[in-house]
Amino acid sequence: MPSKIKISSQYAVQMRGVTKKFNNKKVLSSVDIDIKKGTVHAILGENGAGKSTLMNILYGFYRADEGTIFLNGKIAEIKSPHVAIRNKIGMVYQHFMLIDKFTVMENIILGNEMVNKFGVLDLKKSRNRILEISNKYSLLVDLDAKIEDMSVAMQQRVEILKILYREVDILIFDEPTAVLSPTEIEDFISTIRGFALEGKTVIVITHKLKEIMNSSDKCTIIRSGVNVGTVNISDVDQKELAEKMVGHTVELSAKKTKFTPGNVVFKITDLCVENEKKVLALDNFSLKVRAGEILGIAGVDGNGQRELIDSIACLAKVKSGVIEICGKQIQNTNPCNVLNNGIAIIHEDREKIGLILDYTVAENSMMKNYKLKDFSKNGILKKKFIDKFAKNLINKYDIKPENCINIPARNLSGGNQQKLVIAREISSKPNLLIAVQPTRGLDVGAIEYVHRMLIKERDEGRAIILISLEMDEIMQLSDTISVIYNGCIVGNFDRKMTNEREIGFLMAGGEKNDYNLKIS
Amino acid sequence: MTTISKFLKKPVSSLFLSVFCGFVTSFIILAITGYSPFEVASSLFNGIFSRPKHIMNVVIKGMPIIFTGISVAFAFKGGLFNMGAEGQFIVGTIASLIAGSIFDLPPFFQVLVVVVFGTLAGTLLGGLTGFLKAKFGTHEVITGIMFNWIALYISNFVVSLKNFHRPNSNSTFPMKDSGFTGLRGNLGFLKDSFFSDILKTEVNVGIIVAIVVAIFVSFILNKTQKGYEICAAGLNAEAAKFAGMNVYKNTIYVMMISGGISGLAAALSITGTSPHSISILAGFENNGFNGLSVALIANNSPIGCIFSGLFFSGLIYGGKSMQSDLKTPSEIINIMMGVIVFFVAVARIFPIIVDRLLKRRQKSNG
């Protein structure tokens, strides 16, 4: 909707009529936005709604086809990120732009080095500047540590320091909490609140409703490239925000039938796995899954989840320990054997590992069972059967567009790609289904769908492991919850006997007993 | 105007535009150096199409690079860059010559044995490259280049061996003529027809085999389970591994087959055309390297390699008549080919340029 607010210097950023097309597809159509100085302003929208594009235009990464940007009431032409920084705008991307082998200090000053009169780096001066900033905002970090040795939260801190060092007044964050644990998220929120108090303007791009409620003053909702409204956070609740975002009523929690577990189907005992750096990424890791059970593995990214999946899929070498499916040991065999034993994995990275994007939908749909004799005769593929098989999946799992068997998977939307992966994995009727971040990058509608599918499989008696970084997802779907921290399971819970605070406490490295002490 | 940019986004139209740009650029160069582009064009055209003999010579010269093109294209579909086609071709030649000189069987069997030896040599060298890649992760381009030189010096070594070396020359004895694959003898019925001058060329079975191989490879890639695995590994090795395919084994197989096709090219080449012997090589003859360009122009389609191979050999052969008619320097035809390959490689820029021009026009109108 067009903004009625006048251009004024009270507003750090005002955009008028911003339109952007990619390949003749409108991703933003005539968007107006007003962001007041000294506030935290959230930009909410589903994936592909255009919220990141809008901010990338503000940061000069893209150029708008039409529209004007006003900074502090004055018109500004932001041709490139360079110009944006000169205009005191800084952006922290979801994927950090840091050089792993450089130290924190080197990363911060990179591209903006202070030199003395002979053109030699003046590291002392830079160091003092950085220390000054980090003390001011209590963003403490070891300036001489290398990026590759730091946690993700610390890396984010470096990114923030990097833009503060460039003296920005407007800070844009793209999905800043995606990789943080609950306590780290709390820290992050208090940091950005601090910036707002200092008079800086913070813009947060996100699709996480709860964090908006906790952190922001105002929220602008973008739906399919259109600004559908700006609200004061104090006037709305989560459900209202969600409905504005998707444009129809939503069910935020999934319904489940009663939990009736069967026999143990899958068991991991004392698993030890080393990562690429020869450090134990999984350390005496054990778990059990029963038929008809969803076991949720909660944890912050990088605590051994990847190694766990790789070792189950036999893509990583297991140092010691046993992985057992239906009583059969499979550790250190090969991926083919894992498949044959009925383990299906919905991989988190559907673009790089789950699918072959240049293969057609039909070709992708048979990737796990092309060796079965129905699919080929004397080594020659049976095209008719394959097409029928793919068509069947497309109908059954409602993959759009309908006639997509012969188009490359690349041309499907993210949600439909994920549906294709899920359809393929579930249709193989596995003994154990492992879903890793199954709703990553999906919009609310698709998330609902994926959750329904997982619950349906569980109701039909399948054993399911759900590995997710999204606390809400774990809490909604799981029957039992295990918390992974630093390569170990640090707590097992019945879903009904625990709560988000307890899980979050353990995810961040707290001790189970400490938590009980804390609350008693 | 958007239809133009849509049209240009089709790979085929970009390809023709690239070829066109290549010609235009080389004609400009010719004009600058003082040759009439029209004369050059007509000389090139006549050199290729004026007589059946010329056309046949283009086909004969094109056969080996069609094969090596298919070899490179096949490896590329499997995600590998067969830089070693040149070396595989050379070892194929060596093995064919040795087999063709030592064995003395009736014609049909002699040809069979020679071809099998040539193919096998290429297969082994290709397979070794693949093995090194799969086992130790050595990049196939590096090993390919190294093996090219090793093959070159082995070839020169074989020429110098007492058993093979023809005295007072820089080449070996020709292989036994029971191993030849020329077809002149079978085409006697053409003697009185318009096509009679084809009999003056060294027409041989090579091109027929090349077409069969192109169709066969295309079938394997598109219709079979193995082809499905090969292309999967080529498009996304991680996904293929995750889906339970053995990507390591695939790498070795693909390189073996690719090498085998280059070896086969060599066998058919030495048995099909004179001098049926090996000479001391001062440098590469580019049979394999031209295959890289052929595959590139064909966009890695085995069937496409037939046409792009013929196109390439047409330029090479027609370039010779340019040289003799107009005394153009021999480099000009190489420049022409280089420019065409360059434009094919950057063909993706055409739609982008058109889009940008469109946008500029829209801006100036609005």
Per-residue exposure over A100-131, b if at least 16 CB sit within 10 Å of its own CB, e if not: eeebbbbbbbeeeeeeeeeeeebeeebbebbe
Distance from CA of B287 to the nearest CA of A (A): 31
In chain A, what residues touch B224 (CB-CB under 8 Å)?
376, 379-381
CA atoms within 13 A on the CB side of B349: 7
Tens digits of pLDDT across chain A (520 residues):
677 788 888 999 999 999 998 777 788 989 999 999 999 999 988 777 788 889 999 999 888 889 999 999 999 999 898 899 999 999 998 778 889 899 999 999 887 777 777 878 888 888 998 999 888 888 888 889 898 888 778 888 899 999 999 889 999 998 888 777 777 888 899 999 999 998 999 999 987 788 888 899 999 999 888 898 899 998 988 888 888 887 776 665 667 778 888 899 999 999 999 887 788 889 999 999 999 999 999 988 778 898 999 999 998 899 999 999 998 999 999 998 998 899 999 998 888 889 999 999 999 999 988 888 888 888 899 999 999 999 999 988 888 787 888 889 988 877 788 889 999 998 888 999 999 988 877 777 778 888 988 999 999 889 999 998 888 889 889 999 999 988 899 989 998 888 888 888 888 777 777 666 655 5
Sequence ranges of the domains in chain A: 11-246, 264-342+430-519, 357-429
What superfamily in CATH does domain A264-342+430-519 come from? Answer: P-loop containing nucleotide triphosphate hydrolases (3.40.50.300)
To the nearest whole Å, the CA of A223 is away from the closest chain B CA by 27
Tokens, residue A409: 């998977």
How crowded is the C-beta side of A403, counted as CA atoms within 13 Å?
0
> Residue B1: helix, strand or coil by DSSP?
coil
**CA angle (A183, A187, A188) in 5-degree steps:** 115
Instruction: Say which residues have a Cβ less than 8 Å from residue B366's Cβ, sequence separation at least 6.
Output: none
SS3 content of chain B, % helix, strand, coil (to 5): 80, 0, 20
Would you call A324 exposed, middle or buried from its count of C-beta atoms within 10 A (0-12, 13-18, 19+)? middle
Q: How far is CA B62 from the centre of its chain?
A: 7
> Which among B1, B235, B236, B253 is the top mutation candidate for probing chain A, defined by the most A β-carbons within 10 Å of its own β-carbon?
B236
Tokens of B192: 């009185």
Q: Do B223 and A381 touch (CB under 8 A)?
A: yes
Nearest CA in chain A to B239: A353
Contacts of A345 in chain B (CB under 8 A): 242
From the number of C-beta atoms within 10 Å of its C-beta (0-12, 13-18, 19+), residue A364 rates as buried
Interface test with B, best of A311, A315, A381, A385 (most B CBs within 10 A): A381
Assess contact for A454 and A434: CB atoms under 8 A: no
**3-class SS string, B273-342:** CCCCCCECCCCCCCHHHHHHHHHHHCCCCHHHHHHHHHHHHHHHHHHHHHHHHHCCCCHHHHHHHHHHHH
Q: Which of B223, B242, B354 to substitute to test the interface with A, most A CBs within 10 Å?
A: B242
Closest CB to A358 among B235, B243, B246: B235
Q: For residue B232, which residues of chain A lie inside 8 Å, CB to CB?
A: 356, 359, 367
Q: What is the spatial distance between Cα A447 and Cα A46, in angstroms, rounded to a whole number? A: 11
What are the DSSP E strand ranges found in chain B?
A: none
Nearest to residue A61, comparing CAs of A26, A36, A93?
A93
Cα–Cα distance measured from residue B351 to residue B156, given in angstroms and rounded to the nearest whole number: 48
Distance from CA of B294 to the nearest CA of A (A): 23
Give the count of beta carbons closer than 10 Å to the beta carbon of residue A423: 23
Give start and end residues of each alpha helix (H) in A166-288.
182-197, 209-215, 238-246
Are B82 and B258 in contact, with CB atoms under 8 Å apart? yes
What CA dihedral angle connects A313, A314, A320 and A323, to 10 degrees?
A: 40
In one-letter notation, the amino acid at residue A148 is E
Q: Which amino acid appears at position A301 of this protein?
A: D
Is B235's CB within 8 Å of A356's CB?
Answer: yes
- pLDDT at residue A110 in the model: 86
- In A, residues 349-368, which contact B (CB 8 Å cutoff)? 352-359, 363, 367-368
Strand A376-377 relative to strand A11-22, pairing: unpaired
State the pLDDT at residue A413: 78
- SS3 of A28, please? strand
Residue A128 to residue B216: CA distance in whole angstroms:
70
Euclidean distance between CA atoms B179 and B157, whole angstroms: 23
DSSP assignment of A340-355 equals: HTTEEEE-S-IIIII-
Q: Please give chain B's pLDDT, 366 residues, in tens.
A: 566 666 766 767 778 888 888 888 888 888 888 888 888 888 888 889 988 889 999 999 999 999 999 999 999 999 999 999 999 999 999 999 999 999 999 989 999 999 999 999 999 999 999 999 999 999 999 999 999 999 999 999 999 998 888 988 889 999 988 888 888 878 777 777 778 888 888 889 999 999 999 999 999 999 999 999 999 999 999 999 998 899 999 999 999 999 999 999 999 999 999 889 999 888 899 999 999 999 988 889 999 999 999 999 998 888 888 888 888 887 877 888 888 888 877 776 777 777 777 777 776 664
**Cα separations (Å) of B99 from A210, B118, B147, B163?**
78, 8, 21, 13
Counting one residue from chain A and one from chain B, the pairs whose CB atoms sit within 8 A come to 65
Give B231's contacts in chain A (Cβ within 8 Å): 359
Q: Which helix (H) or strand (E) holds A90?
A: strand A89-92
Give tens-digit pLDDT for A376-408. Answer: 888 899 999 999 999 999 988 888 787 888 889
Nearest CA in chain B to A338: B244
For the four alpha carbons of B39, B42, B45 and B51, in that order, the dihedral sign comes to: negative
Residues of chain B with C-beta less than 8 angstroms from the C-beta of A363: 228
Question: Please, are residues B54 and B47 in contact by the beta-carbon 8 Å criterion?
Answer: yes
Provide the residue type at B254 as one letter. Answer: V
Chain B CA closest to residue A341: B244
CB burial readout A294-311, b (16+ within 10 A) else e: bbbbbbbeebbbbbbbbb
Spatial separation of the C-alpha atoms in residues B286 and B290, rounded to whole Å: 6
Contact in structure between B173 and B101 (CB atoms under 8 Å): yes
pLDDT value of position B365: 64
Contact state of A336 with B2 under an 8 Å Cβ cutoff = no
Tokens of A175: 């999905």
Fold type of domain A11-246:
Rossmann fold (3.40.50)
The H or E element spanning position A11 is strand A11-22
Closest-CA residue of A relative to B242 is A335
What are the C-alpha distances in Å from B365 to residues A89, A396, B296, B360?
Answer: 33, 50, 39, 9
Which tokens go with A179? 């990789």
Q: How many of the other CB atoms lie within 10 Å of CB of B200?
A: 13
Radius of gyration of chain A (CA): 25
